[in-house]
Chains A and B, each alone.
Chain A
Amino acid sequence: MKRLLPFFLLFTFPVIMLLLSAFGGVWQFGSLLPESFSLHGFRVIASSGGHLRMALLVSVLYSISAAVLALLICLPAASLFARCSFRGKALWEAVLLAPALVPSVTFALGTLWVFIRSGLADSFAGVVLVLTAFSYPYMLRALTAGFAAIPYELVLTAENLGAGRLRTFLRIELPLLLPAVATGCSVVFLVSFSEYFLVYLIGGGVVPSYTGYLMPFLTGSDRQSAAALTLLFISVPLLLFFVTDRLTRTLVQRWQS
């Protein structure tokens, strides 16, 4: 326990600093801790009205949409990579996993040009598409590993017993795939929810986002509000991971019994 304390402190230190900054009132230079405590930052959040709530809501919505879209388009590809052999497989896999490596800025302006001409710029759908395109590789990786862990004999048995393709997927594969789905969705959600630049560029300010709302606070002088808003920001994925984890466990237990 004692030996792990420095480990714990090392990684929670930024969060501890955020907490101190968010709840600290007067904090003059030279004091290691705030001299007084205040809820100013949280009052700013409480009185911010519709803008903040809208930004938070839309951010959660486009991140969930990106996760669902990534799941749908990665399912057939992941099943293919996990179970089939075909020519050029290694190359396809490398190419399709590459977008996670490439900095998004390299394509973003070109994509904006295409989106302006196709009416997708400044739209919710455009933001979801571009976020999915940059974050699906994590889903593909998780699902491919998930499919590879399912014995194919189970699928064959179900089909021999007369189950259709859809029924086999829903009753046999999906329950076994659930942990991989949860992992993939969590990462895609997190990457999308944290993204500032792509949403700002493709959403053009028309699509509200929490990162866009937060940005001026981070560069401004009111550090207390910035830290409080940041804590709210981090709490969303944390809460979602907790719920997802619980939900996955409950579902897995129910299916197993």
Chain B
Amino acid sequence: MIKRSAGGVLRALLPLLLLLGITLGAGGGVTFLQSLGILTPVPAEGGAGFSAYTALLGDAWFWRSFLLSSTAGLASALLSVAGGLTVALLFWRVSAPFPVLKLSYKIPLILPHIVAAFCVLILFGRSGMLSTLSHHLGLTATMQDFPDIAWGWTGVVLAYSLKGVSFTMLMVTGSLSRFDTRLLDTARMLGASPLRTALTVVLPAVRPAAEAAFVILAVYNFGGFDIPWLIGGSSPGMVSVHALNMYQNGSITSRPEVMAQLTVILLYAVAFVAAYSYISRKVSGEGRRI
């Protein structure tokens, strides 16, 4: 390792820092300032302060939005990690005559979010594939009998999970490829069932990657915009959709509340990651990085 002085470090990081400064840095700064009623298009009522935040905290509508976003983020992350881990472990040691078959799990990764939402509509919508199947099996007589799961909270969770399962597999495949498979033979020789081997031998090896996938998905899916905008509905909408609707259709005096909601999304992300690193350090005795 070469030692670098502060000047050398700064020179190497300067292009990145400049870009971040004019985009995220300035943008984040303006977002926070406007949430305080500073730099707003029209002067905030009652001057600068935290009134937008106190208004949000007392707003039942916002809390419903917040609950919707956080549960959608957590549920989709849980579903993704559970599904991704199960599939990864089931097919990990199946040999493929064509390696391309084993790479097919990456297909949902390249689907843009808005396409994932569209896929949920054609798969889970009332006129979609699942509804047709349930009609064939005699479970539902008409389209209207099929539950409307493609829209709203369930639709959002399904769309995020469609991509999340692939993402989890991508994350854990790296750990699996480094896994010493002789441990599996040892476990079998000692009489462990495949399930027990999976739970006590393989799972600990992929746990850090799976946990990282969970945290990334829970945070990202909390504040994501494209999918809830398309199929999430608006009464109440997820926090991001609620804030953007207020920005586009609300009064110009509501700007501090819009920006306060966006700041809440950021704080949620920071708090979630911080809580995770704290807990994982307590449990395992060492810090984990995302």
Contacts and interface: CB of A to CB of B under 8 A. Distances in A.
Interface of A: 1, 3-4, 7-8, 10-15, 17-18, 21, 29-32, 69, 72-74, 76-77, 79-80, 83-87, 92, 94, 96, 99, 101-114, 118, 129-130, 132-134, 136, 140, 152, 190, 193-197, 211, 214-215, 218-219, 223, 226-227, 230, 233-234, 237-238
A72 B119 contact: no
A77 B259 CA distance: 32
Interface residues of B, number: 87
Nearest to A5: B101
Interface in B1-37: 1-6, 8-9, 11-13, 15-16, 19-20, 22-24, 26-32, 34
A11 B168 CA distance: 13
Nearest to B143: A29
B136 A105 contact: no
B16 A107 contact: no
A84 B2 contact: yes
Contacts of A31: 132
Interface of B: 1-6, 8-9, 11-13, 15-16, 19-20, 22-24, 26-32, 34, 39, 87, 90-91, 94, 96-97, 101-102, 104-108, 110-119, 121-123, 127, 129, 131-133, 135-136, 143, 162, 166, 216, 219-220, 222-226, 229-230, 240, 243-244, 247, 258-259, 262-263, 265-266, 269, 273, 289-290
A85 B20 contact: no
A218 B114 contact: yes
B13 A80 contact: yes
B16 A77 contact: yes
Nearest to A97: B290
A30 B9 contact: no
A14 B143 contact: no
Q: Which secondary structure dominates where chain A touches chain B?
A: helix
A106 B220 CA distance: 11
A12 B8 CA distance: 48
Contacts of A4: 91, 94, 96, 101-102
Given A73-B15, A102-B266, A194-B112, A109 B104 contact: no
B118 A230 contact: yes
A218 B110 contact: no
Contacts of A219: 230
Given A99-B20, A105-B265, A109-B262, A114 B27 contact: yes
Given A102-B266, A190-B110, A233 B223 contact: no
Contacts of B9: 80, 84, 86, 92
24 contacts: A3-B91, A7-B104, A11-B108, A17-B122, A80-B12, A83-B1, A84-B3, A86-B5, A96-B20, A99-B20, A103-B265, A105-B265, A107-B28, A107-B31, A109-B259, A114-B26, A129-B19, A134-B24, A196-B112, A197-B229, A214-B114, A215-B230, A233-B115, A234-B111
Contacts of A108: 27
Contacts of B123: 13-14, 17
A10 B87 contact: yes
Nearest to A92: B13
Nearest to A210: B112
B26 A96 contact: no
Contacts of A104: 225
Given A7-B91, A17-B129, A85-B1, A105 B243 contact: yes
A194 B113 CA distance: 7
Nearest to B287: A90
A76 B240 contact: no
A21 B229 CA distance: 23
A171 B97 CA distance: 38
B6 to A, nearest CB: 7
A103 B223 contact: yes
Contact of A234 (B19, B115, B224): B115
B113 A223 contact: no
A233 B16 contact: no
A77 B9 CA distance: 8
A57 to B, nearest CB: 18
A80 B269 CA distance: 28
Given A84-B1, A85-B2, A106 B262 contact: yes
Contacts of A136: 16, 19
Given A1-B97, A106-B223, A8 B104 contact: yes
A31 B97 CA distance: 34
Nearest to B33: A110
B108 to A, nearest CB: 6
